[in-house]
Structure 1
Amino acid sequence: MAIDSFKALALQVTCSAVNRARNRTEARSLMQQTLDRLESQIAASLAFIGPDCRLVVLPEYVLTGFPMGESVVAWAEKACLDMDDPLYDSLGQIAQKHNIFLAGNAYELDPNFPDLYFQSCFTIAPTGSLVLRYRRLNSMFAPTPHDVWERYLDCYGLDGAFPVAKTAIGNLAAVASDEILFPEVARCLALRGAEIFLHPTSEIYGKGRSPKDIAKIARAIENSAYVISANTAGIANTNIPSSSTDGGSQIVDYRGLVLAETGAGESMAAFADIDLAASRRFRRQLGLNNLLARQRPELYADCYRQARIYPPNTMLEGKVERSHFRQTQQETIERLDELGMI
């Protein structure tokens, strides 16, 4: 049954990093402890918000933190989930128990690309089934589908690169972390029907509007879509000061209005009503504000097609060292300079 009015929660919780774990067994133990903590925090949050909260979004890489010096191979071994990982089953049990759609982000292995890993955004339905898997397309220090683009499209097609899940609570899509700064990602998802952008992130929060905060509002306005952005409440167990990425989880509506926003620390305060009926009326109305209906993609297609900036397919051969990421960006900057673009 379709539900066009419900509450959503951007749950701001601490990320317990696994970098100091000596092996996969220790890392998995830490991940399970995080899951146990998340289950109790979700249960308590829903008890406060009420049974009409049907969507919970978790922060970026909440189970593991991010690699800090580990090689691609070492991080894959220690911290990455399998596509059919039992931890997804555990998350599915949480979704079933509380009758929610549960969204998050994890580093993930793929048997089609055995020497790499991807940063994946997932959404699990109240049935416990995974209904959305999106692999981050833009990353500075992690492999992406674009780095193996031809083979990735052969495996999953364009629908797999830009997936949209049509669910009882609307058409859901994911935008990972600083991909919110790339308008093309959200636009491609909106062109495929996305109504709600799920945004797991781990970012600096302060008094002034950061570029990412501005981008969240911009992506909502441009696409007449909700943005549900869950930030970490800091990252524990690393040498980085733990509160460096702490606070500012928020929900932005289809007009660009910030409906809820929390400060620093673990918090369930960023929850708000999602009114899909209103957003759908907005998308159907005549006038200047309906930017989605005013888009003319054909105007820009040739410019994008002719542009050659960050190269695709640089990891088709499999194993790479972390130096690959900086080297590829440096070469890209040099090429942009030669073309007179910078």
Structure 2
Amino acid sequence: MSKYDIFTAVAVQPEIKAVEDRSDIKKNLKRTLELIDVAPQISLTARSNYNEPCYAPIKLIAFPEFFLQGHEADWSYQHYLDNVLIELPGEETEQLARKAKEYDVYIAGCALVRDEWIKDGYFWNIHFIIDPKGEIIHKYRKLTVATHYELSVSPHDVYDRYVAEFGDSLSSFFPVTETDIGKIGTITCMDGHFPENSRALGIQGAEIILHPVLVEPLLSPPYEIWQMMNRMRGYENVAYVVSASWGAIYGKRPKYFTPGKAMISDFNGKLLAYADYPGEMMVSAVINLEELRRRRLDPSRNYPTMLRNEIYRKIYEKEVYPANLFSKFPPHTRVERDSMATIKKFIAEGIFTAPEKMPSYINI
């Protein structure tokens, strides 16, 4: 049983500096720590500080993807190595851990990280959680890296090596961590486009799914994919979804490339908190685990308990996106991922129908 059945979760919407050199990481971290300090002031359920008693104290603070580093789509491989990557644990997470202990909260975020188990220039987009004791209790390596601009690798890119190190269970790829505030799972940005990723958490009982950042044009009208995605991921898995976002990015791209939209939705897909604007902000909502757990006793629309896996697994019998693409060396350029290979395969097999006039850049 969780220690806190009712508490407040906070999704942070910071303004981030895209890293030009390592000093920018320190600037982003400094502001991150300041925002943690003042989080109670933006919560209806909290008081002016962490020490004043309230019925739903802040126990979870979630930051977006790249909250310490920012990101640019044209960063070179060498720029990552020289200026962007951090260690986990490292100097940055040590300072976050001190805040977690000071305020007795869980702190989550995503960073580009060198990892201890695989060397030779590989790096990862890791979603981590620090507990109130200051320990890193959860690490999820982003599965669905954005192949059009990320150079971090997915566990799928080094599948055989990953399985040899961590095993081949579902939790090896999609960990769900049991905490004093419930069972928490994480996905990151592009992961949200694939319901399989959040389902992998829901089928393991995740009660809170953390899903940070998406970028324009998928947040604003006429698309609003971000809003629909997060609410649906909660609805179909009967789970809360806490979705931190960027308020602004200071770099080469437009400042409001991600125009806010931090949000929290509940297990019925209902919006609980939403920042419908850009700029630095935080949103908060009460997480009621007792209500969630009672809802999960209702057989009506209880989707994780209604899966027809004997049929559904036929969807996944054939290979689609190939594994082990970078088992020997990491990608150094974005063109090393052939983004057209699977599309061509779908056309060749008659799954997709080719247009009458094929674009000149496609050779089939």
TM-score (ref. length: structure 1): 0.92
Q: CA contact under 8 A between 2:89 and 2:136: conserved in structure 1?
A: no
Question: Which letter maps to 2:29?
Answer: L
CA distance in 1, matches of 2:67, 2:8: 22
CA distance in 2, matches of 1:338, 1:240: 37
Q: 1:34 pairs with 20, 28, 31, which one?
A: 28
Q: 2:125 pairs with 119, 125, 128, which one?
A: 119
For residues 110-259 of structure 1, the aligned pairs below 5 Å read 110-114=115-119, 115-139=121-145, 140=147, 141-142=150-151, 143-157=153-167, 158=169, 159-204=171-216, 205-208=219-222, 210-236=224-250, 238-259=251-272
CA distance in 2, matches of 1:209, 1:252: 18
For residues 242-321 of structure 1, the aligned pairs below 5 Å read 242-262=255-275, 263-268=277-282, 270-287=283-300, 289-304=301-316, 306-321=317-332
**Partner-residue secondary structure (3-state), 1:271:** strand
**Partner-residue secondary structure (3-state), 2:340:** helix
Q: CA contact under 8 A between 2:42 and 2:284: conserved in structure 1?
A: no
**Partner-residue secondary structure (3-state), 1:77:** helix
Question: Which letter maps to 1:123?
Answer: I
CA distance in 1, matches of 2:133, 2:315: 43
Q: CA contact under 8 A between 1:113 and 1:318: conserved in structure 2?
A: no
Q: 1:69 pairs with 64, 67, 74, which one?
A: 74
Question: Which letter maps to 1:111?
Answer: E
Q: CA contact under 8 A between 1:59 and 1:202: conserved in structure 2?
A: no
Q: 2:103 pairs with 81, 98, 105, which one?
A: 98
Q: After the TM superposition, list the runs of 4 or more consecutive aligned residues in structure 1 that deviate by more than 6 angstroms.
A: none
**Corresponding residue for 1:24?**
none
CA distance in 2, matches of 1:11, 1:156: 31
Question: Which letter maps to 2:286?
Answer: D
- Shift of the 94–323 alpha-carbon distance from structure 1 to 2, 3 Å rule, reads same
Residues 29-63 of structure 1 deviation map (CA, whole Å, 9 limit, x = unaligned): 22122222111112112244224011111111011
Q: Please tell me whether Structure 1 or Structure 2 has the larger radius of gyration of its CA atoms.
A: 2
Question: Which letter maps to 1:81?
Answer: I
TM-score (ref. length: structure 2): 0.86
Q: Unpaired runs of 5+ in structure 1?
A: 22-26
Q: Alpha-carbon deviation of 1:297?
A: 2.0
Question: Which letter maps to 1:150?
Answer: D
CA distance in 1, matches of 2:32, 2:332: 34
**Partner-residue secondary structure (3-state), 1:242:** coil
Q: Alpha-carbon deviation of 1:166?
A: 0.2
**Corresponding residue for 2:344?**
334
CA distance in 1, matches of 2:293, 2:9: 17
CA distance in 2, matches of 1:281, 1:297: 25
Q: Aligned-pair RMSD on alpha carbons?
A: 1.6
CA distance in 2, matches of 1:46, 1:230: 16
Question: Which letter maps to 1:174?
Answer: T
Q: CA contact under 8 A between 1:283 and 1:293: conserved in structure 2?
A: no
**Partner-residue secondary structure (3-state), 1:315:** coil
Q: Alpha-carbon deviation of 1:68?
A: 3.4
Q: CA contact under 8 A between 1:12 and 1:231: conserved in structure 2?
A: yes
CA distance in 2, matches of 1:285, 1:267: 36
Q: CA contact under 8 A between 1:7 and 1:272: conserved in structure 2?
A: yes
Question: Which letter maps to 1:89?
Answer: E
